[in-house]
């Protein structure tokens, strides 16, 4: 796991390009503290910088940027190729008969480029990665990213040059960079709580989508053209093909054995490293299954890590400890005080580079920090919910769609329009008057804003659109001033799948997983120089999972049914079977308590109006309702607060930004606790 950055084009002297690359590299030094390197082609105006976290081949033979044996390709690589030994054996027979310089997967990739070309090598590779390859013969730059989006890659034009890097914080180091917030991207953030690819919060900068590669010629760079990214693998096509070719088993036991074999293949491949390896363990199905199969393969106790909270509703540590004791792992747990968690808030803008509002970013960082004290690599269970139907919202959305799809769309639109034409406050007044008449002394059960949210689902054209609306945050994102609405997950091919639940799973795998879950884990872990690996995201397992008929994933109202059957071979059911908790923190009570003063400052009505990004009225309404305890608006408010905190911390050229809103949060938290 490493970090990369670079530039193509622009007018640079040797000193200036070295200075620029050093700044870009320093910005992502946390991704690779073990080594650094720069490669230059001054004639072409090309420079690559690499920061190395040594995992495989710790010797100088793994140093990057690395030049291929032919001298044609120069590579800066972030990630791991799990099947690189197999690729080496195949390449040995066709090209590398004289031996290898080292045993790094970087050298294996370069050999593949020489023999098969870049795109075919990507197709042959199993792993997680982001790469930048300079072709010295064709004078082109290729950027590429892994299939499921575990490793990030940003790019864009700054001051006449093409800049790229593992994180936005590298690109903003370019001299001449002028930050301009993209209000359409901000609107998407307010809907989804993350900025979805290919958008970034800044105009003129983009994220490379998963499973994509993009090629820039020097001529394209001089003209500042934006070539279209090309796909070497399609998640939606893999899903559609899998559903069309379902697996058949003679028994449930045979199906469980089959899944276990595919899981073991992925997990064994991801346990390979020249440094200590461990695993996150929450005590849930996904992480417990990964750890159980790791322990099966290991002659020593696997090192496992979990974070606990004193609030029972958010504490999974007790369950993780029971699983660890049963499996015999070397388990480390850390109970975090509210103060320790709150102290992290000032660091969030630096860790995530752009607004990001998944509250589980806090415990994710804390468990990564804990693990890094003992290991350099940690496996996780990410991907299990999306592949095996684990989210309870799938069942909820499917039930809603089953009820409303029978009603003609025109009639549903008319009903929605009628409900939405009356303000929530007016509905509440009507409820207050009619409730005692209709329900006796009981309160009318549906507040006006919830009725509006339900009405917003009625005119969904299909189950995918309903699911996007159901899981969205601010509805609609026109709370952002000056931004039109744009869908982040439109036209993703989910309509080819036969059931609403499978369509929802695919939407999450393509959008929510890479842009929320994997961003959260990558940035948190890499900020403490920890490599994370997700064996459930091996693309061979992804393709296998889509061949499993749906009743192997969801059965009897329970998700991840077959994955549970595999786990039950190693862990008793009673240690696992419990309601899904998620991986969260008590943001709701913190906002009413130790974070109240900090939040009040960021949500001040005059401040919101003067900054000009949000309409103050709906924000203030949600804030006051939350403070009163009548409603829990923690997630919507966290969206606004995370943008405000990020914006305050990244104001360009402002002396006042030295005293950021995040720093203020720490002061308030210390005073309140």
Which amino acids are annotated catalytic? 2
Q: Which residues contact 179 (CB under 8 A, 6 or more apart)?
A: 172, 202, 650, 652
Q: Which two tokens stand for residue 453?
A: 């949210």
Omega before residue 65 within 30° of 0, cis: yes
330 strand-pairing partners: 303
Find, among 69, 145, 63, 61, the residue nearest to 114 by Cα. 69
CA 608, 169, 639 angle in degrees (round to 5)? 35
Whole-angstrom distance, CA of residue 382 vs CA of residue 490:
24
Return d(Cα 360, Cα 150) in angstroms, integer. Answer: 17
Contact between 62 and 50 under an 8 Å Cβ cutoff? The reply is no
Question: For residue 202, what are the β-bridge partners?
Answer: 181
**The token pair that represents 147 in the structure block:** 């299939």
Dihedral angle of Cα 314, 318, 324, 326, to the nearest 10 degrees:
-130
d(CA 175, CA 513): 33
Query: Residue 30 has which token pair?
Result: 């946390």
Relative to beta strand 205-207, strand 73-81 is unpaired
Of the candidates 86, 201, 212, the one whose C-alpha atom is nearest the C-alpha of residue 149 is 212
Burial of 629 (0-12, 13-18, 19+ CB in 10 A): exposed
Give the whole-angstrom CA distance, residue 575 versus residue 583. 18
Measured distance CA(501)–CA(214) in Å, rounded: 33
To the nearest 10 degrees (0 to 180), the angle between helices 392-404 and 463-471 is 130
Q: Which residue reads 């949000």 in tokens?
A: 614
Tell me how far apart the 2 most distant CA atoms of the chain are, in Å: 89
Helix 448-458 and helix 409-420: axis angle, to 10°? 160
The tokens for 528 are 């403490």
How far apart (Å, rounded) are the C-alpha atoms in residues 154 and 532?
20
Report the distance separating Cα 411 and Cα 429, nearest Å: 26
170, 27 Cβ separation under 8 angstroms: yes
The token duo for 82 is 């799990």
Coarse DSSP helix, strand, coil percentages of the chain, rounded to the nearest 5 percent: 50, 15, 35
For residues 620 and 611, give the distance between their C-alpha atoms in angstroms, rounded to a whole number: 15
CA distance 388 to 552: 8
- Give which of 263, 273, 326 is closest to 560, Cα–Cα: 263
Residue 8 Cα to chain centre, angstroms: 28
Q: CA dihedral defined by 550, 556, 557, 559, rounded to 10 degrees? A: -50
Beta strand residue intervals within 46-139, DSSP E: 46-52, 66-67, 73-81, 127-135
Residues linked to residue 131 through DSSP beta bridges, in sequence order: 77, 144
Can you give the C-alpha Rg of the chain in angstroms?
25
User: Do 52 and 71 form a contact (C-beta atoms < 8 A)?
Assistant: no
């Amino acid at each position: 796991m490493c970090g990369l950055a670079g530039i193509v084009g622009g007018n640079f002297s040797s000193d200036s390009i070295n200075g620029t690359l050093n700044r870009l590299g320093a910005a992502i030094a946390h991704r690779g503290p073990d080594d650094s390197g720069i490669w230059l082609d001054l004639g072409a105006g090309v420079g690559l910088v690499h920061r190395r976290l040594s995992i495989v081949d710790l010797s100088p033979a793994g140093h990057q940027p690395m030049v291929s044996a032919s001298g044609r390709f120069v590579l800066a690589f972030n990630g791991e190729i799990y099947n690189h030994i197999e690729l080496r054996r195949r390449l040995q027979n066709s090209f590398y008969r004289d031996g290898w310089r080292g045993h790094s997967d970087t050298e294996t990739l370069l050999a593949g480029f020489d023999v098969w070309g870049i795109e075919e090598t990507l197709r042959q590779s199993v792993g997680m990665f982001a790469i930048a390859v300079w072709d010295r013969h064709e004078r082109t730059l290729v950027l590429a990213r892994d299939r499921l989006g575990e490793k990030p890659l940003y790019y864009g034009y700054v001051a006449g040059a093409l800049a790229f890097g593992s994180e936005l914080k590298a690109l903003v180091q370019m001299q001449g960079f002028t930050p301009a917030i993209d209000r359409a991207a901000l609107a998407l953030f307010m809907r989804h709580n993350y900025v979805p690819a290919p958008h970034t919060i800044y105009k003129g900068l983009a994220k490379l989508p998963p499973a994509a590669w993009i090629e820039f010629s020097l001529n394209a760079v001089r003209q500042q053209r934006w070539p279209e990214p090309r796909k070497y693998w399609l998640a939606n096509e893999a899903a559609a093909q899998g559903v069309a070719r379902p697996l058949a088993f003679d028994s449930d036991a045979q199906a469980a054995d089959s899944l276990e074999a595919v899981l073991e293949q992925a997990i064994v491949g991801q346990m390979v490293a020249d440094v200590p390896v461990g695993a996150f363990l929450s005590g849930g199905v996904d992480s417990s299954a990964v750890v159980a199969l790791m322990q099966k393969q290991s002659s020593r106790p696997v090192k496992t890590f979990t974070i606990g909270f004193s609030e029972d509703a958010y504490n999974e540590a007790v369950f993780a400890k029971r699983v660890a004791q049963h499996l015999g792992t070397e388990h480390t747990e850390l109970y975090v005080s509210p103060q320790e968690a709150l102290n992290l808030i000032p660091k969030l803008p630096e860790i995530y580079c752009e607004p990001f509002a998944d509250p589980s970013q806090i415990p994710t960082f804390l468990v990564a920090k804990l693990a890094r004290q003992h290991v350099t690599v940690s496996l996780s269970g990410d991907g299990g919910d999306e592949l095996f139907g684990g989210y309870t919202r799938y069942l909820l959305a499917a039930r809603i769609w089953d009820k409303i799809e029978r009603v003609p769309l025109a009639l549903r639109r008319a009903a929605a329009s009628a409900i939405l034409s009356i303000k929530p406050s007016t509905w509440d007044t009507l409820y207050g008057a009619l409730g005692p008449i209709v329900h006796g002394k009981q309160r009318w059960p549906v507040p006006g804003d919830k009725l509006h949210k339900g009405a917003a689902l009625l005119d969904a054209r299909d189950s995918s659109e309903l699911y996007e609306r159901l899981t969205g945050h601010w509805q609609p994102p026109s709370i952002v001033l000056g931004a039109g609405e744009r869908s982040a997950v439109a036209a993703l091919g989910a309509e080819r799948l036969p059931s609403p639940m499978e369509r929802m799973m695919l939407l999450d795998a393509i959008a929510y997983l890479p842009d929320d879950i994997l961003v959260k884990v990558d940035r948190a872990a890499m900020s403490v120089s920890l490599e994370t690996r997700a064996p459930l995201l091996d693309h061979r397992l992804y393709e296998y999972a889509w061949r499993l008929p749906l009743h192997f994933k969801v059965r009897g109202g329970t998700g991840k049914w077959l994955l549970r059957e595999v786990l039950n071979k190693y862990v008793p059911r009673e240690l696992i079977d419990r309601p899904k908790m998620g991986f969260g923190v008590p943001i709701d009570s913190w906002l009413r308590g130790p974070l109240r003063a900090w939040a009040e400052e960021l949500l001040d009505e005059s401040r919101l109006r003067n900054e000009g990004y949000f309409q103050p009225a709906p924000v203030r309404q949600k804030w006051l309702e939350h403070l009163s305890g009548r409603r829990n608006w923690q997630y919507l408010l966290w969206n606004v607060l995370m943008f405000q905190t990020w914006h305050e911390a990244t104001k360009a050229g402002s002396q006042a930004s030295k005293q950021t809103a995040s720093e203020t949060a720490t002061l308030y938290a210390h005073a309140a606790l």
